[in-house]
Amino acid sequence: MTVTTRFAPSPTGTLHVGNLRTALHNWMFAQKQGGRFLLRIDDTDAERSEEAFVDAIRTDLAWLGLNPDGEERQSARFDRYEVRFEELKAAGRVYPAYETAQELELKRKVLLGRGLPPVYDRAALALTDEDRAKLEAEGIRPHWRFRLDHDAMIEWDDLVRGPQRFDPKTMSDPVVRRADGSWLYLLPSVIDDIDMDITHVVRGEDHVSNTATQLQMFAALGAEAPRFAHEALLTGAEGKLSKRLGSLGIAHFREIGIEPQALIALLARLGTSDPVEPFVDPAPLIESFDFARFGRAPARFDEEELAQLNARIVHQLDYEAVKDRLRAGMTEAGWDAIRPNLSTIAEAADWWSVVEGPIAATIAEEDRPFLAQAADIAATLDWSNPWPALTGALKEATGRKGRTLFLPLRLALTGREHGPDMAALLPLIGKENALVRLRSG
């Protein structure tokens, strides 16, 4: 058996962090098992689906390195759904129902008012052929429900949640097709999973009740069901996932300078007891991936933690990996000098402007003679390793040390109180520019 997972987004919007986590875990599990990771575009909702969102989904997955081994589109499979639907109809596993939305809502309220669960009463099954003909003659078109087998307890061993058990008598027969002929999510997804040979379905815990229903659909279609893993949902720093965070597309994180490796490193281990670590290469994350490590408590997504992780990722990136994104003229030595002070790669341009100049520095009056003396000493130095030679000579000549020695020099040479290691930065600034800056101070 080849392990096969799938990521099945609806192209009605852009991917957000919750979607990404689902895609990532499907991809990682398939990678670890030497299997296949498929992309399925769930675009049965023609009114809300947009081709621009399909393109955005592909772009986001490619940026993250989650490259599918194949792609399917539900909109190309309507004929297949029709065939399997007719099989279920012939077997008596789907049936027409004629209640309006208002009638169903009234039934629901009555049951709740009596303290009963709002389970559909299967009134449509009591209709005769004459009843149905009369309703359709009045222009009422049916929606279609899947008839659950009340005699078969629904059970499965979830890879995250453990043993699960549902009594179908406590569940409503789900609507699988609307009166206009369009499909709802449940049945097409099962048909696709069968045809795509999906062996494992990884998704959020909000789908647990859907799984209970779909397991009976697999059985009704004569197919073995995949294994299921239902993960706890993400929450934000304040508790539940905020609308802002829940609606943020992956493009947002690209725009603010988050590296794909940072998102992968964070989302790979959220919800486990394993430490979040700044892996540039996802191989160790894939190797340690195990559904048994995931707990049932909500997983907390913290943008501040992501930002800190991103900085640690950036500090590991070598020049070859980033050179096409750096400011023109920035050298490998420049990247190595500046990299430890960056939170994002985009910040490198600001520090390279410090190297190239010009800069503006605010110098205390009492430090100006000291800087003039520094310029005189700097003019005599070999520039192969100037910073320790300059500071050593100044310390001996002036008696200054610590902050009083280093801060005026840094301010005069960079215009900043803090920044990259001056031993690495000063050779990049160059002797001529350094002398001009010290004398300007």
Residues making up the binding site: 243
E strand or H helix at 410: helix 403-414
Task: Enter the tokens of residue 375.
Answer: 């310029």
146 Cβ partners below 8 Å, 6+ apart?
Answer: 88, 93, 94, 173, 174, 176, 186, 187, 213, 216, 217, 220
**For strand 94-97 and strand 154-158, is the pairing parallel, antiparallel, or unpaired?**
unpaired
- Three-state DSSP class for 421? coil
- Through-space distance between the first and last CA atoms of the chain, rounded to whole angstroms: 73
Contact 168, 154 (CB under 8 A): yes
- Three-state DSSP class for 331? coil
Contact 222, 35 (CB under 8 A): no
Closest to 197 (Cα-Cα) out of 6, 9, 26: 6
Burial profile 163-196: b = 16 or more Cβ within 10 angstroms, e = fewer: ebebebeebbbbbbbeeeeebbbbbbbbbbbbeb
Helical residues (DSSP H) of 185-259, grouped into ranges: 186-195, 208-220, 243-247, 250-255
E strand or H helix at 321: helix 319-322
- Three-state DSSP class for 120? coil
- Three-state DSSP class for 99? coil
Binding residues for ATP: 243
Closest to 302 (Cα-Cα) out of 238, 249, 357, 364: 238
Task: Enter the tokens of residue 366.
Answer: 């009492």
